[in-house]
Amino acid sequence: FRLFHGTERSIARSIIAAHGFDERCASLGGLYGAGTYFADCACKSQQYAVPHQDETFTMLISRVTMGGAYPTTRQHVDQRRPPDNPDTPGRPFDSIFALSGRANGGKQQHNEYVVFASAQAYPEYLITYTLG
């Protein structure tokens, strides 16, 4: 997939673009766990883009591989990996997919894609833009 990831300009340029995503920096407070979050709608990623001093925003377009995705309907706060996959005993799913209208008790407004390993996402394009 090619998906959006909104963030601060300094983080996008100095860390992500140079070294890639690092799930070790992910917050355990994320709704779907401590992974790296992406969206297929730029408006969702815009919610996480922080304005720079010149009133521009930064967003990444990334290549993301989901592998065997867990289609969640609930929250996964405080989890560092996806749920276990019953088809591969002892091994978790590769990612979590939160479908709009189904996940989070039906309150999910946009599709969200969450990966838990840095090798699953490649920051391909860095976009700087303004709103207006």
Residues 6+ apart with CB under 8 A from 75: 31, 32, 104
| pLDDT band for position 109 (cuts 50, 70, 90) | very high
**pLDDT tens digit sequence for 67-101:** 999 999 999 999 999 999 999 999 999 999 999 99
**pLDDT tens digit sequence for 2-16:** 999 999 999 998 888
19 pLDDT exceeds 90? no
**Residue 113 and residue 3 in contact, taking contact as beta carbons nearer than 8 Å:** yes
Question: Residue 14's pLDDT is what?
Answer: 81
Predicted TM-score (pTM) of this structure: 0.94
- How wide is the angle at C-alpha 80 spanned by C-alphas 78 and 82, nearest 5°? 105
Question: Residue 33's pLDDT is what?
Answer: 96
Question: Residue 15's pLDDT is what?
Answer: 80
Burial class for 58, CB neighbours closer than 10 Å (0-12, 13-18, 19+): buried
Both tokens of residue 70? 């867990």
Question: Residue 18's pLDDT is what?
Answer: 82
40 pLDDT exceeds 80? yes
Question: Residue 13's pLDDT is what?
Answer: 87
Report the pLDDT averaged over residues 108-120.
97
* Cα dihedral value 97, 42, 65, 21, nearest 10: -110
Question: Residue 132's pLDDT is what?
Answer: 82
- Polymer length of the chain: 132
